[in-house]
Structure 1
Amino acid sequence: MVYLMPGANRLRFDFSSPKLANSGSSNPIHSSYITVHMVPPMNSPPLQLAILLAKDSPGTFDAVPARIEREGNGLDTAIRKFRMAAYLWQAFTAEQMFRNKLGRRAFRFEEEWTTGTCNQRDREMGTMRSEARVHVIRSDKTLAEIRDMERAQQNPNATKKGELYDIAAEAVKNYFQTLPGQKQYVSVLIMDSHWDAAAKTVVGHAALGGNAGDLQLAIFGSHCLQSYPTSFEEIAPAFTDCTPTDTNWVANDCNEAGSSWEAANIGIGAHLHETGHLFGCPHQESGVMLRDYVRLNRSFVAREAYSTRTKSKGGLVLEADECTWHRLDCLRFKSHPCFRLPNDPLLNPDASLQAWPVEDGKVQIIAPTGVSYLEIFPEGDDVCHTWIEYPAEKGTLQRIIVLTEKELLNRLPENKRQSSKMQISIKSHGGGNLDIADFRTLCSKASALKLSFGPGPLGQTAFRSYKLGLSQMEGSEPHEFVFTSFKEKNRVLSKIVFYHGLAFDGMEFFYDDNSSQLFGKRGGKAGGDTFDMDIRRGECITGFLVRSGFWIDAVQVLTSLGRKSPIYGNAHGGSPHTLLPPRGYNLVGVSGSCAAWVDGFSVLITK
């Protein structure tokens, strides 16, 4: 590994061999040069690195006495080691993305101008560099509270296992003071983790990753930190150090860290696993997001040392034996804002996906930023084994795809095709996600609504879009109707009144004869807010922008004249979804459910 500066970096490679004379001298037998140009991706949000301490923390981490004497175990050493671990994550991820033909892309860090710590010469000479910043955050909790055995994740009888995540999230939010709607990506090292030799448990440690509102957070303990390298020169020695783990002083995590290099694998690799969760990665069938990080060292050394875990004497490392990011993780990263490159094309700001059941059991998937890939989960599968990729064809993204149940079933193994339910998860190039819990129901007649009017003796058929919100609130009742202006051609929609407060309560559609149709309830702000339609110009509703999660947070109307209403409800709640019918279809009604407020919403479309 080498440290790259912005711009051109000229690297020299010297050939040496113990079998040849002069090979160890300052006059190498052969040298090759390569110039690497590095452009810092300043247009992408950074992954923040943070060390969390208790308010009365001594600021030390577990280490054997010999290590403490040689390199210390204080906060400065912890910062250097954590920074190097993060650089290893970054280099490993960039190489994996390149091997998957997705470009040399990786997350970036917020940087600061400081005395260089990543190579020994910088430390000796006091050279200043721009290096990854490690934030030091003090919690309002005491050391005893953080090391409470009831909060220890590895304690099988603990009653507060998830609380360390909440403590870290609260401290990080108070430190960064982000505004509503602003996403922050933070990977935290808990400095006060400690191996309790008497209880045989690591206290003050939890390996967790996910989100706390707009905060994407990963946490991990410092109990393996002594084994991490502090500079580039120490990477190979750290991953080949066979010093046995002395459990009088430090932990043998999961009994898979019996030597120093294996402890480095567990600490650096498991923290990377949790950082994967921070970026939205679920568990996978293989790779970092399973538990293959116990082989992380193989990406940084040519030969593996003796392993106490496998009792293997080690030997030559081949590419096929290395730890990897799963292909699905790499595809997810390509669409993630933290992985954007300066030369990536601009995408539509609407990253959402929508599913539209139509005739003949087909479902149209529409994504303004293009469909990236689709995961298929037959009943009983928790991780994805089957997926379909939708690469850009001659530079053109596939913004509309048509799915059928038969096509998806044919992708599954024979023994999985008879499952009663099939879940699919679709991702867009903009990072959007659409989970369809039961695709068979969506493409069946359950999504169709027979209209008793319209051309022909049998009337028309309308289709319900995939519903937003879960419709699981207490007392939730279905609401559905076709607009009067569609049923009676002499009626015109004149205005819409929106009822809202901290969420979306309902909306009432008024027509030119003063009749109305109410969807949801007249709650929230007294009298609601009115959005008038331009009757003279024949303005009508063409779609909705909906913010939703567990329920419906906010709604905005889109009209045929290109106008947009204000966003009514909680404009920062949930995630955005743009409901615009497929080409050739018209929006003719609304459907969903309502409890204390609206908790389900879809639209009715027909040709």
Structure 2
Amino acid sequence: MNTNDIFNQPSPTASDLSLDTLGPTQSNQIHTKTKVAETEAAENHKSGINLLNINDAEVVYHRFLIVDGLIVSSEVENGQISIKRDKFPDLTYAVVENNFKAIVELGMGDNTVTFQFTKADSTALTRSVKIRMESNLRSMPVRLGVVYGKDSQMKYDMDPTPENQDPKDWINSAISKLRCAAYLWQAFTAYEMQKNGFGWRTFRFEEENTLDTMNNQNPTTRSIPKVCLLPSEETVTYIRDKQRAEQWVPSSGEERTIFDTQLDVASNALDKSKETFKNSKHYIAVLTLDSTWPKADGIVLGHAALSSQSTVRNIAVHGSHMLYAWPSCIQDVVKCFSNTTKVNEDVLYADKDGVKEYWMRYHPLFMLPKESAPPPRPPARIIPYPADNSIFFECSDGIVLIECFIDNELKAFSEFTLENLPSRKSEKTPTYTDQEKNMENPTLVKVDLEVCKTKIYGYIDQTLNFVVTCNSQSNLAIVDAAKFISDNTETPESGIKIFSYGVHGKKDDQSKKQDVLFLQDSPDFLKLPAESTLRSLSKISLIKLFLHTNNSNIGAFEVTTKDGKKTMLGNYSTSYKTTKSLTIVENDGLKSVDIRSGVWIDGMEFKSRNGRTTSWLGGNGGVLTTSQPPPGYVITGLRVYYGGWVDGLTLLYSKQA
């Protein structure tokens, strides 16, 4: 994620802080700064080659860069786009109906990349950009390995026909194919992350200086992914036992007698390896070289597409039975991805989806021609709850990442993944909410500013900024967390410290404002100390909703407290007699309110602790959210903004103790 762009946004203030303005940040809004965007637009118009997902002078962290582009023309253009780079041979890709997708090979440091569009053998348009490739050394590297039996012939399945020549060096051919596949995994991950607003984020590899085979013209020595050879103590027959094949299913009368898998074969080889796989945790992808497809068995032997994690390593394994179709260098990628040669199933395994051609899925993020994308997840709303020196973040879609920045530099982060869930459940990793402790992607997360400061080396009274990301890849930026809390904290004449968290709907200069203060439940149920200022509030006993005369939104509502006081909120004069009400008895209390809102309050439903409700009143427009205080806090009132009807609603809450 480009944090410079995020934190150049104006800081939210009490006057403009609404749940809509704090809603999902779209990727095209956070991808570029205004000045850069204007420069890029001018350059696109000038050159006629529009680069849709990369800007001039942008920084990336991976070698194979996938670029989407468009030839700007009043006519339908078909032809070729040539990619010219420093120190690398040219690459050429097709332009079809003005669109192109290209993989650009980059070197470490600054790269000048020239895109040259040609048609009818003549150059029509040229566009150059500078792209900087840097190393990302902050993350643990992914390591690559090839495991094989102690009596292995060191070969993989190939179709023995004249047009398919055997490799001169089988093991180096397999290594080159694995490296190329790894670069593509890395490229597709970065491409999808950037497309969805995360910037060019991807993983890195453990590297070594050796002969680079990723370009089949003039290979030279470069720093490229290291592939570790992992000889197994087991024989090929052992590895190819059908019970160790992932696809094997016992037939009638058969019983499984072997319970280890290809993961165990690879792990044991890692344990015995001369490479260092023991002293610290590793992430490694392992290719099983001795996989094979015997047609008579109807399954791939020596293969499993499995992964496992432990305190020692995270490992993934895959068989070599489809190496025959994999590219071994960047020039082979398009050729392999578009290879419609029919698979000879007498000697080769064809992909199980029935296409029976050489092209295949190299990675889940690669979409095949004419293959429809999975339905997108709807944007999710992340709601910030200011509290005492902390902020709670709630999102029904699940929170996956919280990042803390100082002066646009990432200083600390918390990830919520299946991998670290056991650590959170065992309390080895501290948590603050039940959701953090028990959910892979918790729906409620607390950020304690003081705790965060202790995790930042050399912290000295600096401004903390946060970016929160949820499963649907929507995100929320909080600029100056301390100011955010201060702007949404107030102490009225009653002396009760009250927090609020923005506005459902809207408020503007024309909106009128009304507050009502109450206690959501009895002081005894809330276990309020005898000296608590909250005891000065009267418990809510009745809430009544009034429909506006247009029958599609809320006109007003009335709150009655136990002391008999009634408060009308909103515009009763424009409301129908149509009402819904909730009586809150002595052994019950107000728990939450469901709200549909956009530019006003479309509909509402209040709910009690014991499950009683007003039932729904109003329309079905806007976005549905549930409003309730964070753990350890209690509802102490409502704030309404209104004109002809209820425009906005804010929940007021206070600390329970």
TM-score (normalizing by structure 2): 0.45
Q: Rg: which structure is higher?
A: 2
TM superposition score normalised by structure 1: 0.49
Name whichever structure is richer in strand by fraction: 2
Give 1 or 2: higher helix fraction.
1
